[in-house]
């Protein structure tokens, strides 16, 4: 019974994590100029890399989110999502330390000024969920 409950929990968590990245990617892809501005506000990437990230990251998030939901290329998608989440955490920390007043850009345009503490807790919980799904992938 416990393994059945754990399996159901894992499927729900996969849907939530995958869905979160699909939605976030779709929102970014729908307004690339706003996403570009969010990337530029972090003041980390050179202009050319910011442009490339603007057009690449949203679709990578969508693809990886779908892979997590549908269990196709699941392990690779979890590694990529975990890596992207770590990069987002580092970018948030750097912006916080430098005192930048920015929008997160995590869910497209208009998500308002970032509350660094809330954003970091959210991203750390998301990273923990991705880690749990990675751990569970071999047990299903």
Domain boundaries, the chain: 2-139
Q: How far apart are CA 41 and CA 64, in angstroms?
A: 25
Nearest to 119 by CA among 94, 98, 100, 93: 93
Nearest to 37 by CA among 120, 108, 116, 122: 108
- Contact (CB, 8 A) for 96 and 116: yes
Portion of the chain with pLDDT greater than 70, in percent: 94
Mean pLDDT of 18-37: 94
Q: What is the pLDDT of residues 5-24, one digit of tens each?
A: 888 999 999 999 999 999 99
Q: What is the pLDDT of residues 71-108, one digit of tens each?
A: 989 999 999 999 999 999 999 999 999 999 888 788 77
Does the pLDDT value for residue 48 go beyond 70? Answer: yes
Read off the pTM. Answer: 0.91
DSSP state for residue 72 in the 8-state scheme: S
- Contact (CB, 8 A) for 104 and 111: yes
User: Which has more confidence, 106 or 124?
Assistant: 124
63 burial (CB, 10 Å; 0-12 / 13-18 / 19+) is middle
């Amino acid at each position: 019974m416990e393994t059945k409950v754990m399996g159901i929990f894992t499927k729900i968590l996969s849907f939530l994590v995958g869905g979160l990245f699909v939605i976030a990617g779709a929102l970014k892809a729908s307004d690339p100029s706003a996403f570009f501005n969010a990337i530029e506000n972090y003041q980390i990437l050179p202009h050319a890399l910011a442009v490339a990230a603007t057009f690449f990251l949203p679709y990578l998030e969508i693809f990886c989110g779908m892979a997590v939901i549908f269990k196709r290329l699941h392990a690779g998608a979890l590694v990529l999502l975990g890596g992207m989440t770590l990069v987002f955490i580092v970018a948030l920390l750097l912006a916080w330390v430098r005192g930048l007043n920015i929008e997160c850009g995590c869910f497209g345009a208009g998500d308002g000024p970032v509350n660094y503490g809330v954003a970091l807790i959210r991203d750390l919980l998301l990273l923990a969920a991705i880690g749990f799904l990675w751990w569970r992938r071999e047990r299903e």
